[in-house]
Structure 1
Amino acid sequence: VTASVAGADTGDHLSYEIRPGNVQIEPGRAAFVETTLKPRQVIWFGSKEERPYTLSVKRSGVDPTEVEGTYVQRGFLPRWLATFFGIFLALALAFVMIWIAYKPQVSSKATEQTEQAGAALAPSPSAAPETLPSTAPSAPAESPAAQPAAPEPKDDGAGGGGGGGGGEPKPPTKKPKPVVRTAATAVKELAARSDGRHICYRAYVADKGWQQPVCDGAEAGTVGKNLPIKVLNIAVSGTKGVSGNGAHVVEGWLTGDKWESEGDGVDMYLGSSKEAVSPLEGFTLKTTEGIVCPNTHVKDKGWQKQGCTEAGNWRYFGSPMDQRLQLEAVRITV
């Protein structure tokens, strides 16, 4: 059997691509024809449209066999996009029209100055007023009193004119440091007022710091406050010098057998103000000439019996060495 396939639609909106267009079919066989339909015009925007079509199978000597169908053609772009473009285009056109039509009003408030206005201006203060003629003789004008000349500024040598700013700036004045009264300061003052042998001393008390120096048997330190002495500052006059060593509650003789020794009017220090070093429990003392007599106040023991050195020899004063009690106050004479 020989047959051909053809397509048709109302309005000729579709094109038909049939492969193959003619077929020969053997008895007892079947044949397949591939048909592709395409719209002749593209619908860019809008709703879908239905295109009815008919495929006809034609054989010689026989009426064609028709197969009907419907091709649904959709818009290339969605409808909402067309709406968006329409609104955007309308807004763009409106903006351009407003931009073109807008004309900013520019006006000048400056006015032209006429000659009459210039003539009507009042004379400047520097201009002399015009004198009008008078029929009556005017009284003689009183001459103003002579103004005293302004005194010339005195030249203080600070620089040239214009405010005297030509000189170099003075360096800031440093505040003098407060004078620290030590035992040596006190013993020198005492020796200047009174001849003879003198000893002055001051104590560095834990949590309080340095006290003011005292002399010749006055009390240094504290009593009944549980505040130990960490350092003793001693100076003498009229003994040709003083020597000593400090014993600490924990470290014992911190400097070993190394004694401190100073001449008359010079500060000698026994002990240490460092926080890591324990307070004094006692001290050894001697003067180069004569004797020295300390009295010590020890924690939980009170004032100890006053003792004196022998001339030229040293002696220990303070807590018993085996009890290691902190030293709290002293009184010393020479």
Structure 2
Amino acid sequence: MTTILAFIGMVAAPVQADTEKPPPGISAEAWRARPAAPVFSASASPILCFSGHVQGIGWTAWDCNDGDWAYAGTENQSLSLEAILIIAHSTGGRTCAQAHSKDIGWGAFPCEDDGREFAVGTTGQSRQMEAFRFRHTTRWSCNNAHGQNYGWQKEGCVGPDQYRMAGTTGQSLRLEAATATIL
């Protein structure tokens, strides 16, 4: 993916094309149907955005952390979060994530520069995410998860280039929502 700058107001907008190859685990159909990436204005603060691929719904709208945490998924609907689409802006480093999916375990742990979207998890396979790991290469990062039978876990943060897991493994409990922020 290429990042372009519109010189009027210096707004960064990721370029998306239907011909792009989807990430591992993400179907070509779901990759083409993902929401258009958000457009970022110049910002001194880091911005993180999530879109969740939810069982029976598909991709949700982008949710960005304007003074809060980026959010993907649903609560109290007994629906599985299957994948998370992620993009960051103005962080000065690389954002990384990894999904633990039913019957697969931990998938790839991709990292992307600011303005480049990426996804973790699966689509088109009816596989629930059970946990996710999150990190940033140069900043503190935080994440949390809401899951089947346990609700929201305790929030936690880690230093640069460390990852934190949220959710559960080995218990077959679906992840229903995920949040994260970059400090």
TM-score (norm 2): 0.73
Q: What residue number does 1:48 align with?
A: none
**Unaligned residue ranges in structure 1 (runs of 5+):** 1-176
Pairing partner for 1:322 from 170, 177, 182: 170
Q: What residue number does 2:155 align with?
A: 306
1:28-70: per-residue Cα shift (whole Å, max 9, x none)?
Answer: xxxxxxxxxxxxxxxxxxxxxxxxxxxxxxxxxxxxxxxxxxx
Percent identity between matched residues is 26
Q: 1:317 to 1:327 in 2, by over 3 A?
A: same
- Alignment-mate amino acid for residue 62 of structure 2: P
* CA deviation after TM superposition for structure 1 residue 181, in Å: 3.3
Larger Rg: 1
SS in 1 for 2:124: coil
Q: What residue number does 1:197 align with?
A: 46
1:270-318: per-residue Cα shift (whole Å, max 9, x none)?
Answer: 011022x511001111111101111210111100101112222112111
Q: Using the alignment, how far apart are the partners of 2:111 and 2:176 within structure 1? A: 23
Q: What residue number does 1:263 align with?
A: 113
1:100-152: per-residue Cα shift (whole Å, max 9, x none)?
Answer: xxxxxxxxxxxxxxxxxxxxxxxxxxxxxxxxxxxxxxxxxxxxxxxxxxxxx
The alignment status of 1:223 with 2:72, answered yes or no, reads no
Pairing partner for 1:233 from 51, 60, 85: 85
Q: What residue number does 2:24 align with?
A: none
1:72-100: per-residue Cα shift (whole Å, max 9, x none)?
Answer: xxxxxxxxxxxxxxxxxxxxxxxxxxxxx
1:5-38: per-residue Cα shift (whole Å, max 9, x none)?
Answer: xxxxxxxxxxxxxxxxxxxxxxxxxxxxxxxxxx
The list of structure 1 runs, each at least 4 consecutive aligned residues, that deviate by more than 6 angstroms after superposition, is: none
* CA deviation after TM superposition for structure 1 residue 180, in Å: 5.6
The structure with the greater share of residues assigned to helix is: 1
Q: What residue number does 1:284 align with?
A: 133
Q: 1:179 to 1:229 in 2, by over 3 A?
A: closer
TM-score (norm 1): 0.41
Q: Using the alignment, how far apart are the partners of 1:268 and 1:180 within structure 2? A: 11
After superposition, where does 1:39-188 map in structure 2 within 5 Å?
A: 181-182=35-36, 185-186=37-38, 188=39
The structure with the greater share of residues assigned to strand is: 2
* CA deviation after TM superposition for structure 1 residue 219, in Å: 3.3
Q: Is the 8 A contact 2:134 2:142 kept in 1?
A: no
SS in 1 for 2:157: coil
**Unaligned residue ranges in structure 2 (runs of 5+):** 1-17, 19-31
Q: What residue number does 2:56 align with?
A: 207
Q: 1:242 to 1:316 in 2, by over 3 A?
A: same
Q: Is the 8 A contact 2:83 2:119 kept in 1?
A: yes
Alignment coverage as a number of residue pairs: 148
- Alignment-mate amino acid for residue 244 of structure 1: A
Q: Using the alignment, how far apart are the partners of 1:232 and 1:238 within structure 2? A: 20
CA RMSD of aligned residues (A): 2.1
Q: Using the alignment, how far apart are the partners of 1:225 and 1:179 within structure 2? A: 23
